């Protein structure tokens, strides 16, 4: 149904509903205001189609210049490059301009799309102008200039789409510096800090995901350069400890009622990041080649102790902010984390001699973590914890089956028994997952009803 037509029909019906006592005047006005706002909210399909159209226009523009580049003069090249970019921004400005009758932007979805087109053409112009005047310099700087222009546009126009583009371009810039020039590219963190500030200020929901994920991708980009300083086992433990630190930091900020939505996303991705590296530590045949590592055992011990101390401090401040008596699953979580930190410290000294024992401890800790995630998920009404527990358990079980029984069984028996195990186990796990999810939803609804009753 047309949104405006629905609004008019709703405006006619509400007085009748008020007369029958179904709704009061305040509620009726709130409904009208909410519906009036939704009329001018751009539809997701419009934005998606607009972005696809922009991509095709940008590709067509690049193809045109590539096909006719040699036959054009410098003045014509510059004129076409600048006029195409300015035209995109002017069309965007028209789409964002207010309609006199409604005092709302005319076509906000198309405005976002043409704004993105202007940013893409800006990057295209940087590269082509550098080619016209044979500018031979550090080429990642061109991508940096493009990313800064996109960030400035996103800030001035409050455009979430362009903010996402700016973050992707900045990640591309950092990737070029890391992989092509073998740099420890800390400068990217400055760009991330600025973009994160405006993402929080403008409350960009989708861009906040990209901002957080880009940090973890950047950390993975730097694994090769960090291997110059850290032995592989130290590097994996470093990433695990950083992930745990970020998870606890996010939980602390949530308890402090600071940017709850953003920090819930940060805790989600930090937990996923930590689980990945905990899973890597569970392999008995981990590659222990010293490669280029230059950090000594004692230097890494100090780093490990520093991160362990930071995690301990974060646990303490979280407990102080909690202001309630700890329940069983929270106490077990603290004990589990303490056991993990001790295991990681012991692993620094004994991974060469007693690595198999350490791996057994890691796998036991993973199984205990699965149980803890299920109980904490049910207690906190968090479906992600429950689902993550089943995913971690399934992946770990399959991995241990392959790396343990491959050499102990004939290959035919290995595949047959493995297939049966996967079928039966998959059915059982999915059934249990659904039961727990239903239990979690039922508990959340009961809690909501009790809260409403009070």
Q: For the beta carbon of residue 119, count every other beta carbon within 10 angstroms.
A: 30
The tokens describing 144, both together, are 């940096």
Q: What is the DSSP letter of 399?
A: H
Q: In a 3-state reduction of DSSP, which class is residue 382?
A: coil
Which has more pLDDT, 287 or 231?
A: 231
Mean pLDDT of all residues in 124-132: 83
Task: With beta carbons less than 8 A apart as the criterion, state whether 119 and 153 touch.
Answer: yes
Q: What is the mean pLDDT of the chain?
A: 79
Strand partners, 192: none
Domain assignment present for 282: no
Task: With beta carbons less than 8 A apart as the criterion, state whether 300 and 348 touch.
Answer: yes
Q: How far apart are CA 115 and CA 150, in angstroms?
A: 10
Domain assignment present for 96: no
Give the pLDDT score at 279.
Answer: 92
Which has more pLDDT, 50 or 282?
A: 282
What's the number of domains the chain is made of? Answer: 1
Task: With beta carbons less than 8 A apart as the criterion, state whether 241 and 307 touch.
Answer: yes
Burial 1-16 (b: 16+ CB within 10 A, else e): eeeeeeeeeeeeebee
Q: How far apart are CA 21 and CA 58, in angstroms?
A: 56
| Neighbouring C-alpha atoms within 13 Å toward the C-beta of 109 | 15
Domain assignment present for 32: yes
Residue 453 has pLDDT above 60, yes or no: no
Task: With beta carbons less than 8 A apart as the criterion, state whether 119 and 162 touch.
Answer: yes
Residue 70 has pLDDT above 60, yes or no: yes
Domain assignment present for 389: no
Lowest-confidence region among 55-59, 232-236, 271-275:
55-59
Residue range(s) defining the domain that contains residue 8: 1-39
Q: What is the DSSP string of 108-153?
A: HHHHHHHHHHHHHHHHHHHHHHHHHTT--S-THHHHHHHHHHHHHH
> pLDDT by residue (tens digit) across 320-332?
887 777 888 889 9
Q: What is the CA radius of gyration of the chain?
A: 28
Give the pLDDT score at 433.
Answer: 61
Residue 154 has pLDDT above 80, yes or no: yes
Output the CA–CA distances (angstroms, integers) from residue 423 to 107, 175, 409, in the order listed.
52, 41, 19
> pLDDT by residue (tens digit) across 414-428?
455 555 565 665 555
Give the pLDDT score at 155.
Answer: 94
Residue 358 has pLDDT above 90, yes or no: no
Residue 77 has pLDDT above 60, yes or no: yes
> pLDDT by residue (tens digit) across 155-208?
998 999 999 999 999 999 999 999 888 777 889 999 999 999 999 999 999 999
The tokens describing 331, both together, are 């106490």
Contacts of 254 (CB under 8 A, 6+ apart): 260, 263, 264, 267
Domain assignment present for 1: yes
The full 3-state SS of 71-108, as one line of letters, equals CCCHHHHHHHHHHHHHHHHHHHHHHHCECCCCCCECCH
Q: In a 3-state reduction of DSSP, which class is residue 405?
A: helix
Domain assignment present for 21: yes
* Among the listed residues 264, 381, 375, 255, the one whose alpha carbon sits nearest the alpha carbon of residue 323: 255
Q: How far apart are CA 303 and CA 178, in angstroms?
A: 23
Give the pLDDT score at 2.
Answer: 45
Q: In a 3-state reduction of DSSP, which class is residue 215?
A: helix
* Among the listed residues 193, 195, 203, the one whose alpha carbon sits nearest the alpha carbon of residue 261: 203
Residue 83 has pLDDT above 90, yes or no: no
With a pLDDT cut of 90, the percent of the chain lying above it is 28
Domain assignment present for 2: yes
Task: With beta carbons less than 8 A apart as the criterion, state whether 392 and 369 touch.
Answer: yes
| Neighbouring C-alpha atoms within 13 Å toward the C-beta of 40 | 16
> pLDDT by residue (tens digit) across 283-308?
877 655 544 555 566 777 788 889 99
Q: Is 165 exposed, middle or buried, given 0-12, 13-18 or 19+ CB atoms closer than 10 A?
A: buried
With a pLDDT cut of 70, the percent of the chain lying above it is 73
Give the pLDDT score at 97.
Answer: 79
Length of the chain: 454
Q: For the beta carbon of residue 55, count every other beta carbon within 10 angstroms.
A: 14
Domain assignment present for 247: no
Contacts of 271 (CB under 8 A, 6+ apart): 243, 247, 388
């Amino acid at each position: 149904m047309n949104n405006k037509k629905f609004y008019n029909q709703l405006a006619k019906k509400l007085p009748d509903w008020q007369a029958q006592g179904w709704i009061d005047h305040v509620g009726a006005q709130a409904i009208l205001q909410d519906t009036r706002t939704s009329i001018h909210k751009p539809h997701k399909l419009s934005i998606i189609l607009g972005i696809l159209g922009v991509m095709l226009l940008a590709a067509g523009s690049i193809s045109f210049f590539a096909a006719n580049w040699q036959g054009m003069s410098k003045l014509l090249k510059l004129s076409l490059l600048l006029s195409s970019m300015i035209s995109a921004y002017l069309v965007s400005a028209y789409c964002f301009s207010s309609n006199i009758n409604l005092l709302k932007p005319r076509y906000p979805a198309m405005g976002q799309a043409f704004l993105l087109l202007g940013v893409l053409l800006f990057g295209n112009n940087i590269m082509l102008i550098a080619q016209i005047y044979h500018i031979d310099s550090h080429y990642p700087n061109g991508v940096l200039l493009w990313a800064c222009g996109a960030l400035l546009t996103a800030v001035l126009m409050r455009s979430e789409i362009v903010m996402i583009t700016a973050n992707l371009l900045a990640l591309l810039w950092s990737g070029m510096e890391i992989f092509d020039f073998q740099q420890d590219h800390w400068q990217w963190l400055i760009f991330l800090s600025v973009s994160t500030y405006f993402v929080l200020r403008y409350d960009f929901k989708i861009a906040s995901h990209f901002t957080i994920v880009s940090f973890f991708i950047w950390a993975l980009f730097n694994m090769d350069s960090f291997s110059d300083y850290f032995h592989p086992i130290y590097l994996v433990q470093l990433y695990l400890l950083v992930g745990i630190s970020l998870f606890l930091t996010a939980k602390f900020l949530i308890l402090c009622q600071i940017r709850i939505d953003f920090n819930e996303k940060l805790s989600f991705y930090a937990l996923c990041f930590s689980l990945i590296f905990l899973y890597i530590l569970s392999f008995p045949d981990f590659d222990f080649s010293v490669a280029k590592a230059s950090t000594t055992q004692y230097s890494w011990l100090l780093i490990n102790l520093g991160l362990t101390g930071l995690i301990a401090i974060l646990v303490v401040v979280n407990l102080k902010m909690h202001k309630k008596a700890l329940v069983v699953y929270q106490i077990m979580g603290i004990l589990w984390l303490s056991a993990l930190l001790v295991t990681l410290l012991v692993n620094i000294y004994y991974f060469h001699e007693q690595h198999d024992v350490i791996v057994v401890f890691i796998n036991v800790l993973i199984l205990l973590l699965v149980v803890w995630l299920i109980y904490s998920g049910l207690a906190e009404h968090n479906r992600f914890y429950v689902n993550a527990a089943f995913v971690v358990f399934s992946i770990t079980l399959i991995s241990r089956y392959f790396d343990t029984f491959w050499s102990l069984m004939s290959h035919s028996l290995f595949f047959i028994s493995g297939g049966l195990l996967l079928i039966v186990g998959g059915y059982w796990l999915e059934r249990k997952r659904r039961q727990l999810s239903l239990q979690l939803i039922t508990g959340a609804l009961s809690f909501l009803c009790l809260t409403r009753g009070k």
